[in-house]
């Protein structure tokens, strides 16, 4: 991979109102997608066949809370 290389964008998650899942504002299709509270690369919940669906994104934990299993102290 050289020219035209794609790196998945990083997005910061926000807790949903019930505090059990994360939502992200999709950088590909600009919809809101909901994921389980785990950081790392995700397959985007975009429409099948779109570029975002192939590339996905890297989800970061919400600023106000650690991810499950990611306690650092």
**Whole-number minimum distance, CB 7 to Zn ion, in Å?**
17
Q: In what order do the strands lie in the sheet with 57-60?
A: 10-12, 57-60, 40-42
**Whole-number minimum distance, CB 30 to Zn ion, in Å?**
7
SS3 label, residue 34? strand
- Of 44 and 59, the one with the shorter C-beta distance to Zn ion is 44
Q: Please, which residues have CB within 8 angstroms of residue 29's CB and are 6 or more apart in sequence? A: 44, 46, 47, 50, 52
Q: Hey, which residues between 20 and 59 contact Zn ion (CB under 5 A)?
A: 26, 28-29, 44, 46, 52
13 near Zn ion (CB under 5 A): no
Interface positions with Zn ion (CB under 5 A): 26, 28-29, 44, 46, 52
């Amino acid at each position: 991979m050289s020219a035209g290389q794609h790196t998945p964008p990083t997005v910061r998650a926000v807790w949903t109102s019930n505090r059990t899942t994360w939502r992200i504002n999709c950088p590909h299709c600009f919809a809101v997608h909901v994921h389980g509270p785990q950081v790392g690369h995700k397959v985007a919940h975009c429409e099948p066949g779109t570029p975002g669906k192939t590339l996905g994104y890297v989800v970061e934990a919400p600023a106000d809370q650690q991810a499950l299993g990611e306690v650092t102290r």
